[in-house]
Amino acid sequence: MKGDYISEFTLFMNHYLAIHPEVVEDQKRGWDMYWDRQVDLVALEKAKEDYVPDDGYGFHPAYWGVTHRPPRKESGESQGR
């Protein structure tokens, strides 16, 4: 395969970006907004202190305020009818 191959999509994008330089400027603003932002180290430390480990099961009764579960009946026991 030749090393100078350029796909149709790459040709289209290069042409489009040459005609619309505002798209590149908008991409740069978006990149700066999401990736090159200042980090508040005090808030980050507070978040680490306030962290509560998750048990991995979001439907845990403690989340619903249930403090006691009734005992489970074994399948072999009579139901008391």
What is the domain extent for residue 13?
8-53
- Give pLDDT, residue 37: 77
Provide the angle, in degrees to the nearest 10, between the axes of the packed helices 21-34 and 8-19. 90
76 within domain boundaries = no
User: Is residue 36 in a domain?
Assistant: yes
DSSP-H helix ranges across the chain: 8-19, 21-34, 41-49
Split the chain (81 residues) into runs of 10 and give each run's mean pLDDT: 87 96 93 83 90 70 62 64 51
pTM of the model: 0.40
* 80 domain-assigned: no
Two tokens, residue 12 = 């289209």
Domain count, the chain: 1
Name, in order, each residue with C-beta under 8 angstroms of 57's C-beta and a sequence gap of 6 or more.
Answer: none
Q: Is residue 71 part of a domain?
A: no
